Amino acid sequence: MSQQVDASRIPELESVVGLALEAAAAAGATQAEADASLQKGLNVTVRLGEVETVEYQRDRGLGITVYFGRRKGSASTGDLAPESVRDMVAKACAIARHTAPDDCAGLADREHLASEFPDLQLDFDWSITPDAAVELARDCEAAGRAVDARLTNSEGASVSTHRGVRVYGNSHGFLRGESSSSHSVSCVLLAQAGDDMQRDYWYTSARDPRDLQDHRAVGRIAGERAVARLGARRLPTGKAPVLFAPEVARGVIGHFVAAIRGGAQYRKASFLLDAAGTQIFPSWVQMHERPHLPKAPASSNFDGEGVRTRDRELVHDGVLDGYLLGSYSARKLGLVTTGNAGGVHNLIVDPSADAPDLLALLARMQRGLLVTELMGQGVNGVTGDYSRGATGFWVEDGAIVHPVHEITIAGNLKKMYRDIVAIGSDVDLRGGIRMGSLLIDDMTIAGE
């Protein structure tokens, strides 16, 4: 068996998935779907110039779901040998025979399955040796620590490279594989002045290693961010505008994404329950799903059920177009799958009409809080109540005056979304939600 993990392994996994589907049919299953994957990775961490970890990862797996009418059973294995595959299928079938029927269970309808598969450029090799990765991490950390003498300690610099292959097939005749890659460099540094110690980080990630930010720049930015936080203080409790930097702004919109997922809707566990067709954001806000962007982190030709992905205007003029649905949640809601089994595929949040950068947004805010990091999990997905620990900078007259820590920002997501004042053009491309800085008119800040 080949040791490579790339597109050349797709036929091998197709054979494994085909065997699982054949065994399920032979056992009497009316429908079945199987998903096989291979993963390979290298992670290296250097701290204070010394190698701290060198980790290799090799994983394989196969999962199957079988349906006997509307009865469902699932099983998985890490052994892809034929006998193990057959044993796994037998266990899934045994489970299905003892489960209660569910009228919404079953494969995605055949007419929704993907039939076109353009090259999305998702897989790029980074043939970096462990020794070279160590040197790269060492250079990254050294560049960061050289920024300022007050950078006295480090949590380390890391280099990571991963490649994977996945094949999905079902008894409708769908059988397709995709290979993908993910590479990153990160650095976390600590700055100290007297008794005051602060930490901060930076990272770069991309499918293509040639698209990574220069590793020394990653270290320098981490160092500059850590030093900038020295002298942080708390704020008096009150209300003020809050500007979320791009790397945290996407988390604010991430709660919107979670609220419009089909599972949250049919379970009635969403603060945006039955919100399709209603105004959620100001009328100038536009959000688009773009699943086929080359090299993008959340691109795919098909979702977790083989359903074709498609471009979609998710929010138009501030109005929610609809939900993010897989087949099961769609049936529960009496709707049709949107090809989102497994999540959203590259959600693009357009900047404000005047396309402000961060400096312009600071000037527009005049007085308020710039948030650069969030902590804690204080978000209620049912009520929309939002409360997170935060660090960042206090702004007066449109300029940063001092760093801030040990505070909490709070509000309700429904109101926060209505109170969005501007979205920046400083777009962060490192995640599945692509957007710039986010300015919200008024939030509670709990401090002293």
Confidence of residue 119 (pLDDT cuts 50, 70, 90): very high
pLDDT value at residue 55: 97
* pLDDT (average), residues 322-344: 97
Confidence of residue 131 (pLDDT cuts 50, 70, 90): very high
Instruction: Say whether pLDDT at 1 is over 60.
Output: no
Instruction: Say whether pLDDT at 262 is over 70.
Output: yes
Contact 113, 306 (CB under 8 A): yes
**What would the pLDDT profile of 397-434 be if each residue is shown by its tens digit?**
999 999 999 999 999 999 999 999 999 999 999 999 99
pLDDT value at residue 4: 85
Confidence of residue 340 (pLDDT cuts 50, 70, 90): very high
pLDDT value at residue 215: 98
Instruction: Say whether pLDDT at 260 is over 60.
Output: yes
pLDDT > 90 fraction of the chain, expressed in percent and rounded: 97
pLDDT value at residue 341: 97
pLDDT value at residue 3: 73
Give me the domains of the chain, ranges plus CATH numbers.
7-228 (3.30.2290.10), 238-446 (no CATH)
Six-digit token string for 48 = 């204070």
Confidence of residue 448 (pLDDT cuts 50, 70, 90): confident
pTM beyond 0.75 = yes
Six-digit token string for 179 = 């290979």
Confidence of residue 356 (pLDDT cuts 50, 70, 90): confident
pLDDT > 70 fraction of the chain, expressed in percent and rounded: 100
pLDDT value at residue 2: 46
Six-digit token string for 67 = 């349906």
User: Which residue is associated with the tokens 């890391």?
Assistant: 158
pLDDT value at residue 377: 86
* pLDDT (average), residues 184-195: 97
pLDDT, averaged across the chain: 96
Among 279, 363, 376, CA closest to 321: 279
* pLDDT (average), residues 87-92: 98
Beta strands across the sheet bearing 347-349:
319-320, 312-316, 287-289, 347-349, 433-434
CA dist., res. 275 & res. 196, Å (int): 47
* pLDDT (average), residues 347-365: 93
Contact 447, 235 (CB under 8 A): yes
